[in-house]
Amino acid sequence: MSRRPLLRRGFDRLKPQFRPGGRFAWLQSTFEAFETFAYTPATVTRQGAHVRDAVDMKRSMFTVVTALMPALLFGMWNIGYQTSLHSADWPYAAGAASFWPCMWFGLVRLMPMIAVSYGVGLAIEFAFAQVRRHEVNEGYLVTGLLIPMIVPVTTPLWQLALAVAFAVIIAKEAFGGTGMNFINPALAARAFLFFAYPARMSGDGVWIARRMWGADAIAGATPLGEMASGAARPSASLLELLAGTVPGSTCETSAVAILAGAALLLLTGVASWRIMAGVVLGGSLTGLLFNLLALSGAPFSASAYLHLPFYYHLLTGGFLFGAVFMATDPVTAAQTRTGRWIYGLLTGAFAIVLRVCNPAYPEGMMLSILLMNCFAPLIDHCVVECNVRRRARRGKEVSQ
């Protein structure tokens, strides 16, 4: 009897049916997608210059998904916790806002969103793979989880499905699929929701679920919403902002959970520390610059955002989440070492500029990353050209 695992034997027995000439040859891409999801593909590079190591796309994507788990689990709990604090319709007994009731409530609210994101996105990706007759990559494993994590928990499922379809078709497949897109698909989905359904994505009362299965919302101002309304600074303490026990987008509130994921990405080398450091440094320096402008008595120094200490900017909204999981996307970010520093610095700076100079849109991280996605190729081009010119000058000096 064969010692191979039962699943492996099943794949090997079915494989001839999906190869050219087989009964289901037209579904070859779909079959290979499921096979490579379960097992590492046996194909290797045969020619040309390639980096050969043990880190393939599957391992990288699963590492990112693992890094997202702390933020995802905390977000589930926080959905229930915030609802128990602000809603009279809390389905459990009074005072039952303990860990497991909050976790269960958040799980029930968030899992349908994750299911819709994966169901719609993967269906479109499989369809494109079949039509184009190319393999299905593992890139959507991360995108499909990121989209429900960065939108309000009260987003109707049909709107989420439209946003996912827009992101996969327009922001990804239209440019050739995984590795060919020039903007982050998850942020493209959020941008679609923001501009198509602004009432669902802005304001004070869109962040907390009222009913177990409904899509209603109650007043629960986010820290950025409070600032946009003219508050001197968020009512939440720094400790609450660090822990994440505040209203906000589904899984973006906890700095501790996000930093735990960042540690894993940095230890495994999956994400660029230069981009993360650049985003934080750019945001901090811009926040300090605005603080100096406020102290100087500038005509617009009455804005509360100008007086907000820079570390509040880092801990509110989606700044840290964007710096760790969005700006570091290896497909849409800068590729050169110097370019990554420039890309990160400008991303952090533009996020704070948008937040301060446009109070109607306090969350500037999304637009900042999308903007820098467009300029990442230009940044790399300029860095490479500068290196070429510098080496050319050195060559002339040596020859002389």
Is position 266 within any domain? no
Burial annotation 13-37 (CB, 10 A radius, 16+ → b, else e): eeeeebeeeeeeeebbbbbbbebbe
Residues 310 and 373 in one domain: yes
Instruction: Domain count for the chain, please give it.
Output: 3
Residues found in the chain: 400
Contact 215, 109 (CB under 8 A): no
HSE toward the beta carbon, residue 233, CA cutoff 13 A: 13
| Helix residue spans in the chain (DSSP H) | 6-18, 28-38, 57-86, 99-132, 140-149, 157-170, 185-196, 198-201, 223-228, 238-243, 255-268, 273-295, 304-307, 310-315, 319-321, 337-357, 365-399
pLDDT at residue 47 above 80? no
pLDDT tens for each residue of 306-317: 888 899 999 988
CA distance 91 to 351: 38
- φ/ψ (deg, to 5) at 358: -135, 80
Residues 154 and 284 in one domain: no
Q: Can you tell me the mean pLDDT for 202-228?
A: 53
Whole-number average pLDDT of the chain: 83
- φ/ψ (deg, to 5) at 120: -70, -45
Residues 26 and 60 in one domain: no
Is position 263 within any domain? no
Residues 328 and 212 in one domain: no
CA distance 191 to 105: 27
User: Which tokens in the block code for residue 111?
Assistant: 């899992």
Q: What pTM does this model have? A: 0.85
CA distance 150 to 189: 10
pLDDT at residue 112 above 50? yes
Handedness of CA 72, 76, 77, 82 (dihedral sign): positive
pLDDT value of position 323: 96
Is position 46 within any domain? no
pLDDT value of position 204: 43
User: Which tokens in the block code for residue 19?
Assistant: 């190869």
pLDDT value of position 1: 47
CA distance 90 to 79: 12
CA distance 278 to 350: 12
User: Which tokens in the block code for residue 302?
Assistant: 């009455």
Q: Can you tell me the mean pLDDT for 187-212?
A: 70
Residues 315 and 351 in one domain: yes
Residues 333 and 361 in one domain: yes
Residues 22 and 113 in one domain: no
CA distance 91 to 97: 10
Is position 316 within any domain? yes
Is position 254 within any domain? no
Is position 175 within any domain? yes
- 282 vs 140: which has the higher pLDDT: 282
- What single-letter DSSP state applies at residue 342? H
Residues 221 and 299 in one domain: no
User: Which tokens in the block code for residue 283?
Assistant: 């945001």
Residues 78 and 224 in one domain: yes
User: Which tokens in the block code for residue 357?
Assistant: 């100079």
pLDDT at residue 250 above 90? no
Is position 231 within any domain? yes
Residues 115 and 221 in one domain: yes
pLDDT tens for each residue of 324-372: 999 999 999 999 999 999 999 999 999 999 988 886 677 789 999 999 9
User: Which tokens in the block code for residue 6?
Assistant: 């039962």
Neighbours of 88 (CB within 10 A): 6
- Banded pLDDT at 206 (limits 50, 70, 90): very low
pLDDT at residue 230 above 80? no
pLDDT value of position 51: 55
pLDDT tens for each residue of 385-397: 999 999 888 888 7
pLDDT value of position 203: 46
Which amino acid is present at 151?
V
CA distance 173 to 171: 7
Contact 165, 124 (CB under 8 A): yes
Most confident of 166-180, 201-215, 230-244, 337-351: 337-351
Q: Can you tell me the mean pLDDT for 68-84?
A: 92
pLDDT value of position 44: 58
State the DSSP string of 98-131: SHHHHHHHHHHHHHHHHHHHHHHHHHHHHHHHHH
The domain containing residue 224 runs over which residues? 56-241
99, 310, 365, 397 from 190: Cα distances, Å: 29, 25, 11, 52
- Banded pLDDT at 141 (limits 50, 70, 90): confident
pLDDT value of position 395: 81
CA distance 331 to 49: 19
Is position 351 within any domain? yes
Residues 74 and 173 in one domain: yes
pLDDT value of position 218: 45
Residues 144 and 224 in one domain: yes
237, 301, 302 from 307: Cα distances, Å: 16, 8, 8
- Banded pLDDT at 228 (limits 50, 70, 90): low
- Banded pLDDT at 37 (limits 50, 70, 90): low
Most confident of 90-104, 215-229, 284-298: 284-298
User: Which tokens in the block code for residue 109?
Assistant: 């609210």
